[in-house]
Chain A
Amino acid sequence: AQKITQTQPGMFVQEKEAVTLDCTYDTSDPSYGLFWYKQPSSGEMIFLIYQGSYDQQNATEGRYSLNFQKARKSANLVISASQLGDSAMYFCAMRATSYDKVIFGPGTSLSVIP
C-alpha cells in the first residue's frame, strides 16, 4: 500500500532560522517520486521540490532542500533562513511508477515568528 505520513500537525520557527518538516512514506515500488507542496492561506498549492528514488543527490531549490534517506523511507523538507512568507501548510506527496496517482500526506502547518 502507498502511504505518506507527516507526524507534525503544527510547527513554529523563528524568522531567519532553519526548519525541518518531516515526511515518511511507504511503498513497495522501487521507482517513485517524492514532492513537496506549499499551501498558503490563499489556498493555491505551490510545487516546491522533487526527489526521485534513484537520485543520488538530495534535491535543492533555492532555500528548500530535501533530506532524502531512502533506507529510512524519509523525505524531510528543510527550509533555510525562514521568512514570514513561509507561513503556510506544507504537504508531502509521492507517486510510485506502478501507481498512476499521487498520494498526499495530511500536511504540516508552519508558522514563522518574527
Chain B
Amino acid sequence: SQTIHQWPATLVQPVGSPLSLECTVEGTSNPNLYWYRQAAGRGLQLLFYSVGIGQISSEVPQNLSASRPQDRQFILSSKKLLLSDSGFYLCAWSAGLAQSTDTQYFGPGTRLTVL
C-alpha cells in the first residue's frame, strides 16, 4: 500500500530564516505530487504541483519554491520566510490519471509558525 510522509511535523522559525519541508511517498511510482497551504480556519490553497522529476508548476507567486529531486520526493523551500508564510502545509500524491477519478491522498502535514 502507499504511504506518504512529511517532516517536520511542526516548525517555529524566525522571519527571514530559510525553510525546507520534505515529503516522500512510498509504494507507488511516478506519482503526481502537490503542495498545499491551509491558513488557520481556511480552505486549501494549491501552491505547487509536479508530474515528474524536475517538473514543477507554480500556482501562486510568492517567496516559496518547490523541487522534485527524486521520483517520490517533493521539497518545499524558502530563502527568507515572511510572517504570512505561517500555516499548515500539506503534501499530497495522486496516481496521475488523466481522468477525473485521480484521487489525491494527503500526508500528515507540517504546522509552520513564523515569528
Residue among B49, B59, B103, B111 with the highest chain A CB neighbour number at 10 A: B103
Is A50 a contact of B108 with CB atoms below 8 Å?
A: no
Is A35 a contact of B106 with CB atoms below 8 Å?
A: no
Chain B residues within CB distance 8 Å of chain A: 42-44, 46, 49, 59, 88, 90, 92, 98-109, 111
The one of B43, B103, B111 that contacts A35, using a Cβ cutoff of 8 Å = B103
Chain A residues within CB distance 8 Å of chain B: 31-33, 35, 37, 42-47, 50, 52-53, 91, 95-97, 101-102, 104-107
CA distance A45 to B91 in the complex (A): 10
Given A31-B100, A52-B100, A53-B100, are A45 and B106 neighbors across the interface (CB < 8 Å)? yes
Min C-beta distance of B101 to chain A, whole Å: 5
Is B99 a contact of A43 with CB atoms below 8 Å?
A: no
